[in-house]
A and B are shown apart, each in its own frame.
Chain A
Amino acid sequence: MTLATDSSGRHSVAPSHEQYLFDTDEHGGRGPDFAAIRGSAEFALLRRRSRRFIFPVSALAMAWYMTFVLLAAYDHPFMSIQILGLINMGIVLGLAQFLSTVVIMLLYCRYAKRQLDPALEAVRARAGRAS
């Protein structure tokens, strides 16, 4: 493998103390032990938590969006049902897409804050000890 990508932004940010612990080969050696990190229970937890949220929620969001698109494409009578005055099912469902996007975003932020960020801190702490 060539080293083209391996200079991972080190020139761009002011080096912190922590960074040298995590440094890869360029500064002569002690890079983080990626295999050890990946084998750790902390990393397994982070990965499990991350995938448990992002995969099902992405799938759900796409399915919900495609439902809306298919209804708009093929079921015009349904979309024409009037809900409030001239506001019909089509406009309500469209605005519901806006709303669901915001709700998913807020749920993800909360999940990330409560579940992902602490798990990430645990991995970082473990990696810090290891090197």
Chain B
Amino acid sequence: MTGAHVLNMAASTTAVGANPVLNLGMFIGFVAVTLYIVHRVSSGNTTTSSYYAAGGEFTGGQNGIALSGDFLSAASFLGIAGGIAVHGYDGFVYSVGWVVAWLVGLLLIGEMLRNTGRFTMGDVLAYRMRQRPVRVAAAASTLLISYFYLLAQIAGAGGLVSLLLNITSKLGQSLAIVVAGAIMILYVLIGGMKGTTWVQIIKATLLLLCMALITVFLLGRFGFDLSDILGQAVQHNSLGAAILTPGTLYGKNELDFVSLALALVLGICSLPHVLMRFYTVPNAKHVRRSLVWAIWSMVGFYFCTLVVGYSATALVGSDAIVHAPGGENSAAPLLAYAIGGSVLLGLVSAVAFATILAVVAGLTLTASVSFAHDVYASILKRGLAEPRKEVRVARLTAVTMGVLAIFGGILVNGRNVAFLVALALALAASANLSTLLYSLFWKRFNTPGALASIYSGLGSCMLLIIFSPVVSGASTSIFPNEDFHWFPLSNPGIVSIPLSFVCGWVATMLGSRRENPAKQTEMEVRALTGIGSGLPS
């Protein structure tokens, strides 16, 4: 295939990046406005509570929008719309998991987490356990998951730049990653949790409005007939009618898909940066309200994505999408250009950039808080850290994380890193969910059990992914020329999630240690009622 020629042709005929100046202008506008707001809302930020959890001052509604913002990352905004446009139904099946997963947060985790903890997942897991080992494990899990998720997002920034600004040189893309990383670090340093939450709220509102308007417009254009959109999509997709049924994307390995679906539905509400969002509201009732808002906006958003995805095929055609710079990810921008010209394209591009910035800022903040609170303050300083110093450590960690993410992002730019999101979700579902559920609902659960479920989840996920087709033995692998894989699935969840539950149970039963019963009683009462948490009722 004469790649460059096709690329050029696609770029000139479909005019993606037709107006990089406009795209760039809108993007700079967004950054300027948000930086100003971040600066305004975050006076001081010297106490741990305000820097880590925005003082718990957000309302349920605000936090709900921010929560959905955490999930409307570039991967799910551009990725799922593109997945539906190119692969049809299998892209849609993927989006269902992103909605249903919120029930885990609503029913099982959210309110009890808010009642029990203060800043991090470690607060809850270590509540009635031996502090040091459990906090180290919780921090290890948080840092690992956040870094993988961060890497996936920031590597996506390179591809997005090539798509939206027509920057195709590796150097130019690396520069774009550096700039994006630097802005992200600024948000976190200046804004702390309050600032990053506001960035998330602004971005999510823009994105939701944008998608809703485009969807209404599209539905109007097709006479509010979903079947008509599907029909046109079938005509303009090279896969034909196959895009209406399952199997185009995941048909080759069904078990792999089941494994992915399991990790999605159990992992999303166990991601550290989502757990941390539950601490930014005053009490458990506001957590409930946040989740209600988040579920409404996710349901609305993914319905819109279904319409936008199939419409993109119907109006742009799957060949044009696949061959445009950016591939699948270009479906939504191309559609925006087709229906709204360069202004709408500019708007969608700016929102897509904003999405990456906001999500990576949240991730960086989460990782830095976990390090400062769980490792520095609780372990190194044995709970006697001065708040100002602790916040300084958090800021330093944020810069370190940011720089690591920039380097990592440049290193993996252009490689297929889509598996990183799935890996982060599998890690969260394996290491965090089992340990959280046991801590909250099983009295006998003890320190050996907690350590076993966290480390078995982390360890088995990492081990299985290393020996999976993701790393070696397939043409799409990271090392396509080597073959040391023996695990047949690209998603380890179906093995590692049950394994961590079993390990947690076995280690608890074997470990003769009984944790402090008074502490256990305290946690049980506090989780359900919030009594003793000092939270306003």
With an 8 Å Cβ cutoff, the count of chain A residues facing the other chain is 68
> Are B528 and A73 closer than 8 Å at their CB atoms?
no
Q: How distant is the Cα of A79 from the Cα of B135 in the complex, in angstroms? A: 46
> Are B529 and A123 closer than 8 Å at their CB atoms?
yes
> Are A47 and B532 closer than 8 Å at their CB atoms?
no
> Are B56 and A9 closer than 8 Å at their CB atoms?
yes
Chain B contact residues, majority secondary structure: helix
Residue of A whose beta carbon sits closest to that of B285? A117
> Are A73 and B245 closer than 8 Å at their CB atoms?
no
* CB of A129 closer than 8 Å to a CB of B: no
Q: How distant is the Cα of A109 from the Cα of B285 in the complex, in angstroms? A: 10
> Are A91 and B89 closer than 8 Å at their CB atoms?
yes
Residue of B whose beta carbon sits closest to that of A23? B534
Residue of B whose beta carbon sits closest to that of A54? B107
Which residues from B are CB-within-8-Å of A65? Answer: 96-97, 100, 261, 265
> Are B99 and A101 closer than 8 Å at their CB atoms?
yes
Residue of B whose beta carbon sits closest to that of A16? B536
Q: With A76-B246, A94-B92 known to touch, is A87 a contact of B258 (CB < 8 Å)?
A: no
Q: Mark A13-43, 1 if CB is under 8 A from B, else 0.
A: 1001011001110000001101101100001
* CB of B518 closer than 8 Å to a CB of A: yes
Which residues from A are CB-within-8-Å of B50? Answer: 12
> Are B531 and A37 closer than 8 Å at their CB atoms?
yes
Q: How distant is the Cα of A104 from the Cα of B254 in the complex, in angstroms? A: 28
* CB of B378 closer than 8 Å to a CB of A: yes
Which residues from A are CB-within-8-Å of B102? Answer: 101, 105
> Are B533 and A4 closer than 8 Å at their CB atoms?
no
Report A16 CB to chain B, min CB distance, Å.
Answer: 6
Report A118 CB to chain B, min CB distance, Å.
Answer: 13
> Are B47 and A3 closer than 8 Å at their CB atoms?
no
Which residues from A are CB-within-8-Å of B226? Answer: 85, 87, 91
> Are A62 and B521 closer than 8 Å at their CB atoms?
no
* CB of B420 closer than 8 Å to a CB of A: no
> Are B531 and A109 closer than 8 Å at their CB atoms?
no
Q: Which of A2, A4, A23 has the most CB of B within 10 A?
A: A4
Interface residues of B (CB under 8 A from A): 47-50, 53, 55-56, 89, 92-93, 96-97, 99-100, 102-104, 106-108, 117-118, 123, 126-127, 131, 135, 225-228, 230-231, 234, 244-247, 250-251, 254-255, 257-258, 261-262, 265, 282, 285, 288, 291-292, 295-296, 299, 302-303, 306, 377-378, 382-383, 387, 516, 518-519, 521-522, 524-526, 528-529, 531-537
A-B contact pairs, 23 of them (CB 8 A): A1-B131, A5-B127, A5-B378, A8-B533, A11-B49, A13-B536, A19-B536, A34-B526, A58-B103, A58-B107, A66-B261, A69-B97, A69-B258, A69-B262, A85-B226, A85-B227, A87-B227, A91-B226, A97-B100, A105-B106, A109-B292, A123-B529, A127-B531
